[in-house]
Amino acid sequence: MNKRIYSLAGVAVLAASLALTGCGARTDAGTGGGTATKVAKIGVIAPLSGDLSAMGLGIKNSVDLAIKQANASNAIPGWKLELAAEDDQATPDVGKNAATKLASDDQVIGVVGTLNSGVAQSTIPVLDAAHIAQVSPANTNPALTKGADYTTAPARPNANYFRTCTTDDVQGPFAAQYLLGAGIKKVATVHDKTPYGQGLVTEFTKAFTAGGGTVVDAETINPDDDNFSAVISKVKAAGPDAVYYGGVYAEAGPLAKQMKGAGLSVPLMGGDGIYDGNFMKLGGNDGDLATSVGAPVETLSSAKAFLDGYKAAAYADGYSAYGAYAYDAANAIIAALKTSLASASDAKSAREGTITALASVSFDGATGKVGFDKYGDSVARVLTVYKVVDGKWVAEKTGELK
């Protein structure tokens, strides 16, 4: 009896694998032979489900838009670009699997992602081993490009990694300068223990105390927690004029709501992780603040192609905080592909060339000047402080970090 089940199962598995390989072969022949164009894929690794899916889907759609526009204008003659999106569920392990999957696909030549710095830590080494370029629209942890000792001895750990956004060592101090400029000298900090949140708060604290401010209380929350009453009571007892939060909107929204409920009516300020419409939906209050990288997308003339294209494509989800950076990241890869794919016979052999070409890319993108320094960081250091007014984010102050 048992033997029969095993042999049946074996036959089924065999049949399934035959069917699958058969399928794969047919599609390859179809695209390769029929149109005489070669295919190169740009991967996306981002949270497409879960609490951060609003940002992740914005990234995916924006990359999709860049690819469609490049194909329409025949940006790379003889080549057709395709999107290969993988969900990382904002989890390092899942992200690593996604990176492994993309790395094993010979047509993948570059990857846009990830959203979370913590996930990037596990995807970069996998993609580096396969010589695939990774351009992140959103990782702000300085250590990713400059190594663990980024303040004292910066050293680039992975040559394949670039990013179009600025980093925490710029965002935190910018927030500190803004609060000091607004006359706020006493701040409590809270972070969510992720590399991102901790990085923001560390850099903020350094700049804030150096500028003459006092951090009256430093707390942490657990991202899985929903009830922050104990933290809020403690923060309130310290009597701060503002709360600086290192983390993302999924916790920042409820935190802001519960702060107000507990009678702690001071603004909550965060980084780009809370700069999303969902922050207000989940409880963010008028007067709360966020820093985000670059100038407001809507005010840049160079962003028009992106905004119009995104609207015309009628995606179900908005481009969110990182859409424009993802669009620029995809276009940076496409710009590099123009050099690296020009004489290449297949995508895999052009992977190294793409990384080399990315280092010298330079153009005006949706977020401003796009280009990378010797660490792979964005050359743009422009930031903006946003404030919630009538339930919407409104640009408060744009500037370059001094």
Partner 1 sequence: MELFFQQLINGLSLGALYALVAVGYTVVYGIVQLINFAHGEIFMIGAFGAYATWVLMGSPSDWTATTSLLVLLPMMIIGGMVASVATALATERFAYRPLRGAPRLAPLISAIGVSVFLQELVRLFFGKIPGMPDAKSSVPFPDIAGISGATITLGGVIIQMPAIFTLAALAVSTVFLWYFVNRTKTGRAMVATSQDPDTARLMGINVDRVIMAAFAVGAALAAIAGVAHGLMNGNIGFRMGFLAGLKAFTAAVLGGIGNINGAVVGGLVLGLAEAMASNYLGTTAWKDVWAFVLLILVLVFRPQGLLGAKVVDRA
Q: What is the CA radius of gyration of the chain?
A: 23
Q: Rounded to the nearest whole angstrom, what is the least distance from the CB of residue 134 to partner 1 in the complex?
A: 25
Q: Rounded to the nearest whole angstrom, what is the least distance from the CB of residue 228 to partner 1 in the complex?
A: 8
Determine which residue in the list 74, 227, 356, 360 makes contact with partner 1, applying CB under 8 A: 227
Nearer to partner 1, 118 or 353 (CB): 118
Q: Which residues contact 333 (CB under 8 A, 6 or more apart)?
A: 42, 109, 110, 112, 133, 135, 354, 358
Nearer to partner 1, 243 or 370 (CB): 243
DSSP-derived secondary structure letter, 165 = S
Residue where the block lists tokens 């409820």: 254
Q: Does the protein bind partner 1 through residue 318 (CB under 8 A)?
A: no
Nearer to partner 1, 161 or 319 (CB): 319
Return the range that interacts with partner 1 (CB under 8 A); candidates 162-170, 231-239, 342-350, 368-376: 231-239
In the structure encoding, which two tokens stand for residue 141, read together?
A: 């942890």
Q: Does the protein bind partner 1 through residue 237 (CB under 8 A)?
A: yes
Q: Are 133 and 110 in contact (CB under 8 A)?
A: yes
10 phi and psi angles, rounded to 5 deg: -60, -45
Size of the site for partner 1 (CB under 8 A): 36
Q: Give the CB-side neighbour count of residue 35, counting CA atoms within 13 A.
A: 11
Nearer to partner 1, 78 or 239 (CB): 239
DSSP-derived secondary structure letter, 378 = B
Neighbours of 187 (CB within 10 A): 27
Neighbours of 398 (CB within 10 A): 15
Footprint of partner 1 on residues 187-216 (CB under 8 A)?
193
Nearer to partner 1, 267 or 283 (CB): 283
Determine which residue in the list 110, 283, 365, 368 makes contact with partner 1, applying CB under 8 A: 283
Return the range that interacts with partner 1 (CB under 8 A); candidates 201-209, 232-240, 288-296, 330-338: 232-240
Footprint of partner 1 on residues 244-273 (CB under 8 A)?
250, 253-254, 257-258, 260-263
How far apart, in whole angstroms, are the C-alpha atoms of residue 19 and residue 51? 37
82: β partners? 41
Q: Which residues bind partner 1 (CB under 8 A)?
A: 49-54, 193, 218-222, 224-227, 229-231, 233-234, 236-237, 250, 253-254, 257-258, 260-263, 278, 281-283
